[in-house]
């Protein structure tokens, strides 16, 4: 099944906007995707007709609100092939989800001399929490390098895993678009006695996902990168791990009992959802998942591979040798994330010129400074494709890049 992108575009009101008298060409979905009207309608319906706090009241609105949020949890679990909805913990974003693992599982299980393996292509959210633990507890960080093709260099994986407790790895790079071999890494890690945490922010929105087949123990992703609202993230973890982990935050909603002498935490997943959760946002996330499932994730992936191939070919042919596209050269090995380096032109200047044509790309280090050092650049201009982009959008990107190249040529 192929995507009808013209029909998809009609579901996104923001795409009818004009920027500098040009149609909006949104190419920053790796930063935050747009959301269809079905998502905002679901959230508006909740606020208009069903709003109340969850897991507290027994009146009709409270029971409706609770039912809607728990249905969203079940929908999220189904979407990634989870075994049970209790494995889904709602957070405010993927960064919080990873910090939850670091501060709950990490503090309980890691001690001085233990090792955590990370990669050079990680987002800061999957580096800094482990660096904080290294400072606090004296754990060792080991790094899987990135080769010149934009892939992880797994030559020394067995050595890096020797004595390690955890591997923290991106399922798909937010800079290079590289799709990493999670199953291979997970199998090797488990054989060495280590667990695996996947940053799946760029993977879940773009590829059919079976968390069981990936073989990881923890996974984190965010609603705002998969057509959903901001303010909701997801931590998936194997139920036995979550059961054994201590609470991350304390307060209302996460306790079974409290006395002057102490407290007893509630069961899963309430133990990790202290306070009022992002109720409307979880409902919006479920609506986004419904939208993606209606399109079909196989169709989404097929569309993005085809569009990425077109983009890489067109940009290389038209912009010329001054343009570098970082990451794998084979579209099937990557997502639709194109980090661009135009010789002699700063990424921020590229972005400003493109904005005058209504083309939105993100300049910067993309919260991946260690990777920028490996690439030998301070920043890139990142264009990221999604299901509402088409060849006309790529053509607009190419035309604007040519103008930027010519404008800054001396």
Per-residue buried b or exposed e for 186-202, using 16+ beta carbons within 10 Å of the residue's own CB:
bebbbebebbbbbbbbb
pTM tops 0.75, yes or no: yes
**What tens digit of pLDDT does each residue of 59-112 get?**
999 999 999 999 999 999 999 999 999 999 999 999 999 999 999 999 999 999
Q: What is the span of the domain harbouring residue 21?
A: 5-30+297-407
Residue 408 banded pLDDT, cuts 50, 70, 90 = confident
- Shared domain for 22 and 96, answered yes or no, is no
Q: Do residue 336 and residue 251 come from a single domain? A: no
Phi, psi of 338 (to 5 degrees): -120, 100
CA atoms of 31 and 403, how far apart (whole Å): 24
Lookup: tokens for 185: 């890494």
Residues 44 and 26 in one domain: no
Q: Are residues 248 and 397 in the same domain?
A: no
Specify the CATH number for the domain of residue 320: 3.90.1150.10
User: Shortest CA distance to 399 belongs to which of 15, 12, 23, 7?
Assistant: 23
Which listed residue (71, 367, 377, 402) is catalytic? 367
Number of C-beta neighbours around residue 407 at 10 A: 10
Query: Are 276 and 337 in a shared domain?
Result: no
As a whole number of angstroms, the distance between CA 380 and CA 324 comes to 10
- 226 neighbors 204 (Cβ within 8 angstroms): yes
Q: Same structural domain for residues 322 and 282?
A: no
Active site residue 360: no
Confidence of residue 20 (pLDDT cuts 50, 70, 90): confident
Compute the distance between CA of residue 132 and CA of residue 136 in angstroms, rounded to an integer.
Answer: 6
- Assign 1 a pLDDT band (cuts: 50, 70, 90): low
d(CA 339, CA 175): 6
Q: Does residue 35 lie within any of the structural domains?
A: no
Same structural domain for residues 351 and 205? no
- Residues 343-390: tens digit of each pLDDT: 999 999 999 999 999 999 999 999 999 999 999 999 999 999 999 999
- Among 293, 310, 336, which residue terminates a domain? 293
Query: So what's the pLDDT on residue 246?
Result: 97
- 323/311 Cα distance (integer angstroms): 13
Rounded Cα distance, 313 and 397, in Å: 13
* 252 and 361 both lie in a single domain: no
Phi and psi for 28 in degrees, rounded to 5? -135, 40
CA nearest neighbour of 207 among 126, 94, 296, 92 = 296
- For the segment 179-188, what is each residue's pLDDT rounded down to a tens digit? 999 999 999 9
Asked if 273 and 184 sit in the same domain, the reply is yes
Number of domains in the chain: 2
Rg (alpha carbons) of the chain, rounded to whole number: 22
């Amino acid at each position: 099944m192929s995507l009808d992108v013209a029909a998809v575009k009609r579901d996104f009101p923001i795409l009818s906007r004009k920027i500098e008298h040009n149609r909006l060409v949104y190419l920053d979905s790796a930063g935050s995707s747009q959301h269809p009207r079905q998502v905002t309608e679901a959230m508006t319906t909740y606020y208009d007709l069903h709003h109340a706090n969850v897991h507290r009241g027994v009146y009709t609105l409270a029971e409706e609100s609770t039912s809607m949020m728990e249905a969203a949890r079940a929908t999220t679990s189904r979407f990634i092939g989870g075994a049970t909805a209790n494995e889904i913990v709602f957070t405010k974003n993927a960064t919080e989800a990873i910090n939850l693992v670091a501060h709950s599982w990490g503090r309980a299980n890691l001690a001085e001399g233990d090792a955590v393996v990370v990669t050079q292509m990680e987002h800061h959210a999957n580096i800094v929490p482990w660096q904080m633990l290294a400072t606090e507890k004296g754990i060792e960080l080991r790094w899987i390098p990135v080769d010149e093709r934009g892939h992880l260099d797994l030559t020394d994986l067995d050595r890096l895993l020797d004595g390690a407790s955890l591997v923290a790895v991106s399922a798909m790079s937010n800079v290079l678009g590289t799709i990493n071999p999670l199953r291979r890494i997970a199998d090797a890690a488990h054989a060495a006695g280590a667990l695996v945490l996947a940053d799946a922010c760029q993977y879940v929105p773009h590829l059919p996902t079976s968390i069981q087949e990936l073989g990881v123990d923890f996974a984190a992703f965010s609603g705002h990168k998969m057509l959903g609202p901001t303010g909701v993230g997801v931590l998936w973890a194997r139920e036995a791990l979550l059961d054994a982990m201590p609470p991350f935050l304390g307060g209302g909603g996460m306790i079974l009992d409290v006395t002057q002498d102490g407290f007893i935490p509630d069961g899963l997943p309430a133990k990790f959802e202290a306070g009022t959760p992002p109720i409307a946002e979880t409902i919006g996330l479920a609506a986004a998942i419904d939208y993606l499932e209606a399109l079909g994730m196989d169709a989404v992936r097929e569309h993005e591979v085809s569009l990425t191939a077109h983009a890489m070919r067109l940009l290389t042919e038209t912009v010329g040798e001054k343009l570098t596209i970082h990451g794998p050269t084979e579209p099937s090995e990557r997502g639709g994330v194109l980090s661009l380096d135009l010789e002699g032109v700063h990424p921020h200047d590229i972005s400003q010129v493109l904005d005058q044509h209504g083309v939105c790309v993100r300049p910067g280090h993309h919260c991946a400074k260690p990777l920028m050092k490996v690439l030998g650049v301070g920043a890139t201009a990142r264009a990221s494709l999604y299901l509402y982009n088409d060849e006309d959008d790529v053509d607009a990107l190419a035309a604007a890049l040519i103008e930027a190249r010519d404008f800054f040529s001396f």
